[in-house]
Structure 1
C-alpha cells in the first residue's frame, strides 16, 4: 500500500494530457464537494450545541466521523492533484515552479488526509484537545486538530485550490499554444 511518505515512488508514466485531465477531474471533485462539507460542519455544530445542553457526546462523535469522511474525500482530491502535478513538474520546469509555489498547501492537505485514514482517532483527538468533558474546540472554532495541523475545509482552502488549478491551467494553455 502506498502511503504519503512514499507516494511518488514507482508511479507509472502518464502523458501530460492524461495528467492534466487528472488535475481537472479531481479539482472539479473537490470543488463540488465543498458545499456538502459546509453542510456537515453545520450538522456537527448543531450536535455540539446539543451536547452542551444534554451532556451526550455520541451524536457529535457520529457527526464528526461523517464530517471527517467528507474531509477525507476532499483531501484525497488534493492528493491526486499533487501526484499528477508531481509528474508534470518532472517534465516541465514551469510546473515545477507551480508545485513549489503551492507546496505548503499541498503538503498540508496530503498530511491531513493521511491522518484522516484513522477517522475514529481523529474524532477522539478533537475531544482530547478540549479542557473539559463537554468541549470540542475544533467544532467551536471550525479549526480541527490533525496531528500537528489545525485544519478545516473553508474559503481559504477553496481559494488555494482555485489558485492552484488556475496556475496549472495557465501552464497547460501555454504548453498547448507552444506546440501549435
Structure 2
C-alpha cells in the first residue's frame, strides 16, 4: 500500500494512455462511491439518535468506523488520481498547470487519507472534540488533524472539475499533436 508522504517513490513506468485510464478508473470509483457514503452518513445519524449522543455506544462507534472506512476508499481514489496526474504533469505543461491549480484540494484530500490510515484513532479523535458528538454528526464536519472534512457535494464537484480539467488538457494535447509544427 502506498502511503501519502512517500507516494512518488518507486513508481512503475506507465504510458500516458495507462495514466489516463488510471485517472478515469479512480474518478469513476470515487463518483460511484459517493451515494454509498451518503447512506453511511445517514446510518451514523440514526445510530447517534438511538444512542442519544452517548459516545460509548457500540452501534454509534461501529457506524462511525464504517463511515470513515468509506471515506478512506474515496480519498484513496483521489490519491491514485493525484499519482497519475503527477506523472502526466511531468510530460505535459498543460497538465502541470492543472495539477498546480488543483493542488490545494488534492493536498486536503491526501492529508485526510493519511489520517484515515489510522481509522480507529480518527473515530476516537471525533469523540474527543469539544462539544457533543451529535452536533458534530449533524453538522457533517469531521476533524482529521487540523482539517475539517466530509465527503459532500463540494468535494464531489471538485472531483468533477479536476477530471474535466484533465480531460480538457488531454484533448488539447491530442489536437496539438495533429497540427504540423511551423518552423
TM-score bucket (shorter structure): over 0.9
- Matched with 1:30 is 30
1:23-62 to 2 correspondence within 5 Å? 23-52=23-52, 57-62=57-62
Would you say the 8 A contact 2:55–2:61 is kept in 1?
Answer: no
Q: Unaligned stretches of 5+ in structure 2?
A: 179-183
- Matched with 1:168 is 166
1:134-145 to 2 correspondence within 5 Å? 135-145=133-143
- Matched with 1:114 is 114
- Matched with 1:153 is 151
Alignment TM-score, normalising by the size of structure 1:
0.93
Alignment TM-score, normalising by the size of structure 2:
0.92
Secondary structure (helix, strand or coil) at the match of 1:161 reads: helix
Instruction: State whether structure 2 residue 8 is matched by structure 1 residue 3.
Output: no
CA distance in 1, matches of 2:136, 2:23: 30
Would you say the 8 A contact 1:130–1:137 is kept in 2?
Answer: no
CA distance in 1, matches of 2:69, 2:16: 31
Secondary structure (helix, strand or coil) at the match of 2:8 reads: coil
Runs of 4+ in 1 over 4 A off after TM superposition: 53-56
Secondary structure (helix, strand or coil) at the match of 1:5 reads: coil
* Paired positions, count: 178
Instruction: State whether structure 2 residue 90 is matched by structure 1 residue 90.
Output: yes
Deviation at 1:54, TM superposition (A): 6.8
Would you say the 8 A contact 2:55–2:127 is kept in 1?
Answer: no
Deviation at 1:55, TM superposition (A): 7.2
Superposition RMSD on alpha carbons, in Å?
A: 1.6
Would you say the 8 A contact 2:26–2:77 is kept in 1?
Answer: yes
CA distance in 2, matches of 1:122, 1:138: 13
CA distance in 2, matches of 1:149, 1:55: 21
